[in-house]
């Protein structure tokens, strides 16, 4: 989080590429991994620990990761988004807000997924990726 004091000195980074994004209140964070036309969603319960409320990537903190299911329309949009770039894989980060809105944060076309499968083994993403590789991109 950027404080007002830090914002007063934002010109100090004017010569460096920076990305600032609006803070969005979260119910849970969602890691949506698209492999081919399959969708694997993990709910990251980052709001359960003060250290992970802003960013769940404090892996020294034990927070729950659970298998989740997106509404069909949101799931379809994730697949269509990845495929619109002629990709077969995408690691999409979404936020589910307390009032039930899904907010798109980013898609990483080479995003990590093994840590998610390790924490939520029933997602079976390695099997899906292997199956896609065996079938080939045209299948």
Q: What is the pLDDT of residues 23-38, one digit of tens each?
A: 899 999 999 999 999 9
In this structure, is residue 9 part of a structural domain? no
CA 6/CA 87 separation, integer angstroms:
38
Nearest residue to 34 (alpha-carbon basis) of 91, 94, 80:
91
The CATH number given to whatever domain includes residue 129 is 3.30.470.20
In this structure, is residue 16 part of a structural domain? no
Instruction: Report the DSSP beta bridge partners of residue 93.
Output: 31, 106
Q: Tell me which of 43-47, 71-75, 86-90, 108-112 is least confident.
A: 43-47
SS3 content of the chain, % helix, strand, coil (to 5): 35, 25, 40
> Residue 124 — very low, low, confident or very high, per pLDDT cuts 50/70/90?
very high
**CA dihedral over 32, 33, 34, 39, signed as positive or negative:** negative
Task: Domain of residue 33: give its range.
Answer: 23-135
Count of domains for the chain:
1
Instruction: Report the DSSP beta bridge partners of residue 113.
Output: none
């Amino acid at each position: 989080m950027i404080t007002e004091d830090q914002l007063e000195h934002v010109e100090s980074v004017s010569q460096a590429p920076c990305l600032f994004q609006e803070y969005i209140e979260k119910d849970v964070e969602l890691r949506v991994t698209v492999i081919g036309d399959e969708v694997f969603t993990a709910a990251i319960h980052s709001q359960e620990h003060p250290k992970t409320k802003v960013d769940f990537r404090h892996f020294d903190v034990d927070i729950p990761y659970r298998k989740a299911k997106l509404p069909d329309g949101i799931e379809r949009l994730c697949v269509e988004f990845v495929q619109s770039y002629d990709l077969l894989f995408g690691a999409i980060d979404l936020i589910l807000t307390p009032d039930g809105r899904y907010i798109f944060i980013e898609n990483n076309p080479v995003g990590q997924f093994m840590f998610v499968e390790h924490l939520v083994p029933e997602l079976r993403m390695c099997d899906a990726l292997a199956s896609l590789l065996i079938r080939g991109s045209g299948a």
